[in-house]
Structure 1
Amino acid sequence: MLKTRSYLAEIQLKPSAPVEPPVFPFTLPAIRSLERLPLHPNVTFLVGENGSGKSTLLEAIAVGMGFNAEGGSRNFNFATFASHSSLHEHLRFVRGYERPRDGFFLRAESFYNLSSEIERLDSEPGFSPPIINSFGGKSLHQQSHGESFLTLFMERFGGQSFYMLDEPEAALSPQRQLALLSRLHDLVGQRCQFVIATHSPILMAYPNAIIYECGAHGIREIAYEDTEHYRVTRDFLANPSRMLRVLMGEE
């Protein structure tokens, strides 16, 4: 067994995976070219354009590690619409010698469904203690989308755990993204491991992490300053008026 403090050290594509002829998700270059993907013991980022495969890969990691495809902890077992791929069946998971105490899979697009499932379970007779107590005690539906996300990070997440986040910035303002970055660092200090699919140049600035870029080239490690997210944001903020003129065909 690989001796590492990671809860998940790496993922590998099984030799039997149906890469040729390609069927989804092996039609995606990032998935088709995958052989092995070492994960950082602290934070691993998956970045790329929409449709590049980063969320598909994160979903497969989550399902393969025993989490519900629509999000939640391992104790959640609900399906609003079963749309996840079979990729997890074709992956090999190389775990570390230590098991996480807890874990959670956040999918921004289905967090509403997760919040509804919590309320449904808590309304069942004899269901105790209420699940919502782990989320600060206040209904997630009674908070704004951004507030409920931050509640998850601040109240539900704890130490010695494995967390997978799919576009956690979706509901967060830039200021709240900075708050998440701070909370992320606190949890890393408590021996947590994260795998995060994101478009946020704020989040992916976290130091001592691995960034993997998914794209037409496949999947490769990339420096923060070389990501398109960083370069586009930098260029826009450096001269927004010129960038707007270019976009609007005035230059």
Structure 2
Amino acid sequence: MPRDPDWLHPLVVRRVRCAADAEPDFERWPARLAPVRQVLTEGLDLAKLTILVGENGSGKSTLVEAIAMAFGMPGEGGSTGARHATYPSESPLHDWLTLERGAGASKWGYFLRAETTHGLFTYLKNNPGGWDPDFHALSHGESFLAMLRSRRFQGEGLFVMDEPEAGLSFSAQLALVGTLHALAADPGTQMLIATHSPVLASIPGATLLQLDHTGIHRREWGELESVINYTNFLTEPRRYLRHVLQE
């Protein structure tokens, strides 16, 4: 009888939940955010490729940051166990979480977030591993794709990304979709991504979770608010522009 592939390549993180000894204050940020409160009270199952979407302030970045840090990655980006840090601005959420890991799964992980890549690339330049390009000499899009195609994002592990589409053109986002899809094809790889991009949310096989003021909701691609809004805007932009332009 062939072995179950899930036994051969278990998810790196199966579930995220509140730690038994945690005492979150649900009247204060970030626990007062409905999606964060839902994770703390009900837990969150992660898929092989989980994509969080939602408006600014919905809790996407807060959740992926906390999960990355609970796994052992720096809040500003970097690999498991790295010490890259400039200014402590992270929420206390990572201290309230515990991760249920797959038995025998990889303990390697890497966190990449758009808003702190400049500092991360400076850290990598000052602590060279002997295989990196000069990320600062590349455009934002080129540097992001170069990082995702580097040896850091190969093999088994948990790879967390916060708005990797930031600053990327449409064609660069399509290239990023191809890169992420290829990365997800590795049996031992698991990815968690927060994004605003309908393009990134279209990666085949992704579990899409929409965050809003009521909590976390599983959605199909065509049901996402961002997809609906972009489609309507491109069809009839004046319907939206008349609310923001003074004429």
Where 1:165 maps in the other structure, the secondary structure is: strand
What SS is found at the alignment partner of 1:169? coil
Residue from 134, 141, 149 that aligns with 1:146: 141
Q: Name which of 209, 214, 217 aligns with 1:217.
A: 214
TM-score under structure 2 length normalisation: 0.88
How far residue 154 of structure 1 moved from its aligned partner, in angstroms, is: 1.6
Shift of the alpha carbon at 1:15? 5.3
Partner of 2:17: 12
Distance 1:17 1:76 in 2: 25
1:1-251 matched pairs, under 5 angstroms: 5-14=10-19, 16-34=21-39, 35-41=42-48, 43-100=49-106, 102-122=108-128, 131=129, 133=131, 135=132, 138-156=133-151, 157-191=153-187, 192-245=189-242, 247-248=244-245
CA–CA separation in structure 2 for the residues paired with 1:232 and 1:74? 37
Gaps of 5+ in 1: 123-130
Percent identity, aligned pairs only, is 38
Alignment size in residue pairs = 237
Computed over aligned residues only, the root mean square deviation of the Cα atoms, in angstroms, reads: 2.1
How big is the shift at 1:77?
A: 0.2
Distance 1:9 1:82 in 2: 28
1:211–1:221 CA contact under 8 A, matched in 2 = yes
TM-score if structure 1 supplies the norm length? 0.86
Give distance in 2, aligned partners of 1:132 and 1:28. Answer: 42
Q: CA deviation at 1:63?
A: 0.5
1:194 CA drift (Å):
0.5
Contact 1:118 1:132 in 2 (8 A): no
Q: What is the rounded CA distance, in whole Å, between the counterparts of 1:20 and 1:117 in structure 2? A: 34
- The change in CA–CA distance for 1:49 and 1:75 in structure 2 (over 3 A counts) is same
What letter is aligned with 1:32?
R
8 Å CA contact 1:204, 1:224 repeated in 2 = yes
In 2, the alpha carbon distance for the partners of 1:200 and 1:111 equals 18
Which letter maps to 1:10?
R
